[in-house]
Chains A and B, each alone.
Chain A
Amino acid sequence: MFLDFHAVTVFLITGVAMVCTPMIMGVLFRPKNSYPEKDMPYECGEDPIGDAQVRFDMRFYTIALIFIIFEVEIALMFPWARVFKGAENPPLALGAGLVFAFIVFLGLVVDWAKGDLNWVKTFRNKRRVQE
């Protein structure tokens, strides 16, 4: 049974060799010359400022999710326009599109009502109310 897969074995060995051979050749032949200037981060020649791993505000996550609302809306408007091109009942087609847009827009309204569109003020106010 193992021999039935000899083609796969040859394929695997060839694939591994095709990757490993150039890498080993490169290690053997390339000049290695390391010094601090070369090892420092590339910042277009400037002195690097701060650390590469910085923290992002979690509120960017909310903004990104809100962006998805508009993205879905636009992405699904194109097939809607294509499908209902030359429709027999244009008002019905328009109504269907508006209903869809309204349903998706409700998500934005909910975020708006909860104050997620405000960056700082709402959080402070809520905290004060809770305190």
Chain B
Amino acid sequence: MNRAARLLLFLAVCCGLLLPGTALAAEAPRSLPFNKQNVYNFFRQVEDGKRQLPENIPLDELQNRQCLLYASILKQGGYDFEATVQNAVQFADRGNGKLDDPRFMFLAGVFNVHPDVYLRLKLISKATRDSVAGYFGQ
């Protein structure tokens, strides 16, 4: 094997080692699969988490912690907060069936806090914030 061939082999090994890691790191964030049971379970966990929060802290701080709680509970389940919000906004009912739509229930529960707060906490992007505002403001 000449020197050039050895180097090409080395290059191929490098590709084999690095590419799977790259693919994993770039894997698309997952949304919570929307059905009523998943949303019920999500809010149950949120309520459990809220009860653990101290109440003798400033309102802003409490609100921040609640927002982070929504995101961290999704994260514990392997889901991404922003991807879940985007999914919900994109496919949520815009007609009269809202109260029977798990996506709407999710958005209504989570965005009792203004989306600007989630944006400030970097839990959602500006584009997602605008989508949420557009959905509720329509």
Indicate whether A and B interact.
no
